[in-house]
Amino acid sequence: MLLSYLKIAWKVLLRRKFFTFISLFGISFTLMVLLVVVALFDHAVGPHAPETRLDRMLFVNFLHIKYKNGGNQNSPPSYYLLNRYVRQLRTPAKVAIHSLFHATPSYVGNTRLDLDLKYTDDAFWQVLDFTFAEGKPFGEAEVKSAARVAVINRTTARKYFGTDQGVVGRTIEINQTAFRVLGVVEDVPVMRISSYADVWVPLTTSPNDLNRVTLTGEFAAIILAKSPADKAAVQAEFDQMVKRIPLPDPKEMDHLDLHADEILASYSRQLMSPLTNYTSDGLNMLYSILGGLALLFMLLPALNLVNINVSRIMERSSEIGVRKAFGATSRTLIGQFLVENVFLTALGGLLGLLMAYVALQLIGGAQILAYAQFELNWRIFGWALLVTLFFGVLSGGYPAFKMSRLLPVQALKGVRN
Amino acid sequence: MENILAQSAVRPQATAATLAATAQPVIQLRDIEKVYQTKTIETVALNRVNLTIHKGEFVSIMGPSGCGKSTLLSIIGLLDEPTSGVIELDGRPVQSYSDKELAALRNQKIGFVFQSYHLINDLSVLDNVELPLLYRSGVGGRERRERAYAALDKVGLSARTNHFPSQLSGGQRQRVAIARALAGNPEIILADEPTGNLDSVMGEEIMDLLLGLNRQEGTTIVMVTHDEQQAHKTQRLIRFFDGSQVQ
Ligand SMILES: Nc1ncnc2c1ncn2[C@@H]1O[C@H](COP(=O)(O)OP(=O)(O)OP(=O)(O)O)[C@@H](O)[C@H]1O
Ligand SMILES: [Mg+2]
């Protein structure tokens, strides 16, 4: 019976190519966009190497200073601030400090190669889980002695040395300074701004005076808590600590905001600041907005699907009448339409999955985002498919149920009112 | 009381056919009324109809357009419910059947030929004809196809099995509708003007087909027709006027 349902479903779909196309396209397109967005999102804030222990990590990325005249200043914090205060916290397991990355010129023969350079401490390599293709990171001794050593990523090794093997010990010249390569790591996508760079060198090799007493600078910290549950304690201590940071200019400055946030919150605090005015991390607001948009985005195709299904079944009222006249029970008819709908929805779902896969390959292949690698999120796919099936079943099942209860003659004459 | 009335109304014709006198009644209508109620008017399509049809009878129904013939056939075929009155199938009131039992009756006992064919446009001729067998348990795909082919062959359409209804002429569609009613080998065939759209030669052939079924297989047939000649070939003729039986 199921086989003949499927056969009928398939025939009906083929016979109604336009309807099938519209219906499938709505489902597939929505699913594709959803999957792509989620993949991008996951790419930016999901636990991927080297930020594998995200559940234990807190990020200190931005400093906000509120002035008494109402002005605002936003900047990454200084090394001094992070080293003097954040590093002294007792609750974390480790605190890593690193600079933002900067495009720095380098030359291979006569061709210029701009490399993104990042200054880091040695804890950076312990907090993050880089995959070393060869060599090792720099340690405390190298950082203390401001040794001119570097960790480079695989692509840089290839571009600079022409090979990514056996480059440890060779010299790379960046901004007219020679660094000895200590290790080669796998590429890190640019969306992971905390860990990303092409070349990592000890922060003590920075030409700037690290210990200049100032609040603003170009550094950030990654705090590793002892356990995921311990993050709250770290944040509590952090907030207490912030209160003790003296304002350099108490006459003009009102207060400063500095927070240790989980990855997404660290972004949303900045992103949502026009709405939150720095009073919260804005994460709930971000979630509401994203959720609302997603809902709105899915509502239209869902309504479309419901509408198409309802009118399609109404349209086939006479078919239902004929089938009843020749012995179909209500249950068989509902079954037929459900199978048809589930079949159609599942087909749309698979098509959406395929489209999402192709789209992600294209985005990844186009190198819009350096070293990007996207993964399809099967859980989201599952949920989205479940939601579509729900709408498909409901929108097919309900009218089919109503129609199947009609007397054959009523169905045969068609339901016009 | 009603019972006696119904009997007396039907007996004269029934005794005319010796076959019917001994056979059991398959379909019995008692005081069937069908009223269509719309906002503005009330149409009495059937007015207190009493009718008994015996096993193996071939009955034709005639009457002017709009007198209620199709309505009557729909009620006999369990496709519609009367406003009042009782229908008995094999001596059991239809009202007492469950939805599922009714479906089984429609499937196994009755083959319906609609006045306006009512083929499923999305299905091929063959799939249309297979329909009654599709809802019958224990009939496999191959048997379905074979029986559908055989039925199509009987109506002279074996060359058109893969066409779709929209690709057929009116007469061809009508023959598909007849083949569909035959495919399930029902005990009762209810045909609403089954030759209305056929030329006289084809009409004759279909008529012979029905007569043969009736004679050889003992199929009970109730046929609505506008053709006096055809009607006279059947064992019994019932005339309708304005929702009532007139003879
Ligand atoms: N759904 C309906 N709503 C209202 N009136 C109806 C409905 N169906 C049928 N009628 C009316 O019932 C009466 C009987 O209709 P029916 O179709 O049974 O006639 P008929 O004898 O089969 O006519 P014909 O020979 O033209 O097929 C007609 O007056 C018709 O207008
Ligand atoms: Mg009629």
- For A59-70, how does the pLDDT look when each residue is reduced to its tens digit (9 = 90+)? 999 999 999 998
Nearest 5°: phi and psi at A112?
Answer: -80, 140
- For A143-188, how does the pLDDT look when each residue is reduced to its tens digit (9 = 90+)? 999 999 999 999 999 999 999 999 999 999 998 899 999 999 999 9
Contact pairs from chain A to chain B, CB under 8 Å: 79
Would you say residue B4 has pLDDT above 50? Answer: no
Mean pLDDT over B121-128 rounds to: 91
Would you say residue A82 has pLDDT above 90? Answer: yes
Q: Cα dist. A283→A232, A268, A296, B197 in Å?
A: 16, 6, 20, 73
**Shared-domain flag, residues A295 and A186:** no
- Residue B173 and residue B165 in contact, taking contact as beta carbons nearer than 8 Å: yes
Mean pLDDT over B185-208 rounds to: 92
For residue B67, the CA-to-ligand 2 centroid distance in Å is: 8
The pLDDT, as a whole number, for residue A221 is 97
Greatest CA span in chain B, whole angstroms?
Answer: 55
The pLDDT, as a whole number, for residue A1 is 66
Q: How far apart are CA A370 and CA A103, in angstroms?
A: 13
Q: How far apart are CA A161 and CA B5, in angstroms?
A: 110
**Shared-domain flag, residues A247 and A295:** no
CA atoms within 13 A on the CB side of A368: 8
Q: How far apart are CA B228 and CA B241, in angstroms?
A: 16
Place B16 in a pLDDT band, splitting at 50, 70 and 90. Answer: very low
The pLDDT, as a whole number, for residue B140 is 87
Mutate to test the interface with A, among B71, B95, B107, B125 (most CBs of A within 10 A): B107
Helix axes A378-404, A317-325, angle to 10 degrees: 60
Would you say residue B6 has pLDDT above 70? Answer: no
Q: Is B237 on the interface with A (CB under 8 A)?
A: no
CA angle B85, B91, B92 (to 5 degrees): 70
Q: CB burial class (10 A; 0-12, 13-18, 19+) of residue B246?
A: exposed
Extract the tokens encoding A96: 């890593």
The pLDDT, as a whole number, for residue B17 is 46
Would you say residue A379 has pLDDT above 80? Answer: no
**Shared-domain flag, residues A146 and A35:** no
Place A370 in a pLDDT band, splitting at 50, 70 and 90. Answer: low
The pLDDT, as a whole number, for residue B3 is 42
Q: Cα dist. A60→A46, A99, A231, A257, B247 in Å?
A: 18, 12, 13, 11, 100
Q: How far apart are CA A82 and CA A98, in angstroms?
A: 10
**Shared-domain flag, residues A152 and A242:** yes
Q: Does residue B116 have its Cβ closer than 6 Å to ligand 1? A: no
Q: Which amino acid, residue B74? A: S
Lowest-pLDDT range, A34-48, A261-275, A360-374, B190-204? A360-374
- Asked whether the beta carbons of residue A407 and residue B81 sit closer than 8 angstroms, the reply is yes
- For A196-214, how does the pLDDT look when each residue is reduced to its tens digit (9 = 90+)? 999 999 999 999 889 899 9
The pLDDT, as a whole number, for residue A47 is 85
Give B9 or B209, the one with higher predicted confidence.
B209
Mean pLDDT over B91-112 rounds to: 92
Q: Among residues A187, A280, A267, which one has the least CA distance to residue A220?
A: A267
Mean pLDDT over A291-304 rounds to: 83
For residue A248, the CA-to-ligand 2 centroid distance in Å is: 98
- Residue A58 and residue A223 in contact, taking contact as beta carbons nearer than 8 Å: yes
Percent of chain A with pLDDT over 90: 50
- Residue A380 and residue A38 in contact, taking contact as beta carbons nearer than 8 Å: yes
- A53 within some domain: no
- For A119-155, how does the pLDDT look when each residue is reduced to its tens digit (9 = 90+)? 999 999 999 999 999 999 999 999 999 999 999 999 9
- CATH code of the domain in which B204 resides: 3.40.50.300
Q: How far apart are CA B145 and CA B133, in angstroms?
A: 9
Place B9 in a pLDDT band, splitting at 50, 70 and 90. Answer: very low
The CA distance from A328 to the nearest CA of chain B, in Å, is 6
Place B13 in a pLDDT band, splitting at 50, 70 and 90. Answer: very low
Average pLDDT across chain B, whole number: 88
| Nearest listed ligand to the Cα of residue B226 | 1
Q: Among residues A318, A275, A331, which one has the least CA distance to residue A414?
A: A318
- Asked whether the beta carbons of residue A323 and residue B123 sit closer than 8 angstroms, the reply is no
The pLDDT, as a whole number, for residue A367 is 67
Lowest-pLDDT range, A383-397, B44-58, B91-105? A383-397
Place A415 in a pLDDT band, splitting at 50, 70 and 90. Answer: low
Q: How far apart are CA B12 and CA B10, in angstroms?
A: 6
Q: Which residue's CA is the closest to the ligand 1 atom numbered 29?
A: B66
Mutate to test the interface with A, among B69, B78, B79, B178 (most CBs of A within 10 A): B79
Q: Is B119 on the interface with A (CB under 8 A)?
A: yes
Q: Is A20 on the interface with B (CB under 8 A)?
A: no
Give A42 or B234, the one with higher predicted confidence.
B234
- A264 within some domain: no
Contacts of B132 in chain A (CB under 8 A): 326-327
Range of A384's domain?
2-45+286-412
Range of B106's domain?
4-245
For residue B242, the CA-to-ligand 2 centroid distance in Å is: 13
Number of domains comprising chain A:
2
Q: How far apart are CA A298 and CA A67, in angstroms?
A: 43
- A275 within some domain: no
Please choose from B32, B61, B62, B70 the residue to mutate so as to test ligand 1's pocket, defined by most ligand atoms within 8 A of CB: B70
In chain B, the residue whose alpha carbon lies closest to the alpha carbon of A322 is: B118
Atom in ligand 1 nearest the alpha carbon of residue A413: 1
3-class secondary structure, A126: helix
Q: Among residues B72, B63, B46, B54, which one has the least CA distance to residue B16?
A: B54
Q: Does residue B43 have its Cβ closer than 6 Å to ligand 1? A: yes
The pLDDT, as a whole number, for residue A369 is 66
- Residue A61 and residue A100 in contact, taking contact as beta carbons nearer than 8 Å: no
The CA distance from A346 to the nearest CA of chain B, in Å, is 22
- For B234-244, how does the pLDDT look when each residue is reduced to its tens digit (9 = 90+)? 999 999 999 88
- For B66-85, how does the pLDDT look when each residue is reduced to its tens digit (9 = 90+)? 999 999 999 999 999 999 99
For residue B115, the CA-to-ligand 2 centroid distance in Å is: 6
DSSP H/E element including A151: strand A149-153
Extract the tokens encoding A240: 């207490």
Of A241, A258, A275, the residue at which a domain comes to its end is A258
Place A386 in a pLDDT band, splitting at 50, 70 and 90. Answer: confident
**Shared-domain flag, residues A365 and A223:** no
The closest CB to that of A322, out of B77, B81, B118, belongs to B118
Q: CB burial class (10 A; 0-12, 13-18, 19+) of residue A343?
A: middle
Q: Does residue B17 have its Cβ closer than 6 Å to ligand 1? A: no
Task: List the helix and strand counts (H, then E) for chain A.
Answer: 14, 13
The pLDDT, as a whole number, for residue A302 is 77
In chain B, the residue whose alpha carbon lies closest to the alpha carbon of A411 is: B79
Number of domains comprising chain B:
1
Q: Does residue B74 have its Cβ closer than 6 Å to ligand 1? A: no
**Shared-domain flag, residues A91 and A178:** yes
Q: Does residue B225 have its Cβ closer than 6 Å to ligand 1? A: no
Q: How far apart are CA B182 and CA A210, in angstroms?
A: 96
- For A89-116, how does the pLDDT look when each residue is reduced to its tens digit (9 = 90+)? 999 999 999 999 999 999 988 899 999 9
3-class secondary structure, A367: coil
Mean pLDDT over B38-58 rounds to: 93
Give residue B114's Cα distance to chain centre: 8
**Shared-domain flag, residues A216 and A248:** yes
Q: Which amino acid, residue A100? A: L
Q: Which residue's CA is the closest to the ligand 1 atom numbered 16?
A: B68
Greatest CA span in chain A, whole angstroms?
Answer: 94
Residues 6+ away with beta carbon under 8 Å from A247:
A253, A255, A256
Mean pLDDT over A358-373 rounds to: 75
- Asked whether the beta carbons of residue B118 and residue A325 sit closer than 8 angstroms, the reply is yes
- Asked whether the beta carbons of residue B106 and residue A324 sit closer than 8 angstroms, the reply is yes
- A309 within some domain: yes
- A385 within some domain: yes
Average pLDDT across chain A, whole number: 88
Please choose from B43, B44, B223 the residue to mutate so as to test ligand 1's pocket, defined by most ligand atoms within 8 A of CB: B43
Mean pLDDT over A247-257 rounds to: 90
The pLDDT, as a whole number, for residue B11 is 37
Give B64 or A350, the one with higher predicted confidence.
B64
Please choose from B33, B60, B67, B118 the residue to mutate so as to test ligand 1's pocket, defined by most ligand atoms within 8 A of CB: B67
**Shared-domain flag, residues A377 and A294:** yes
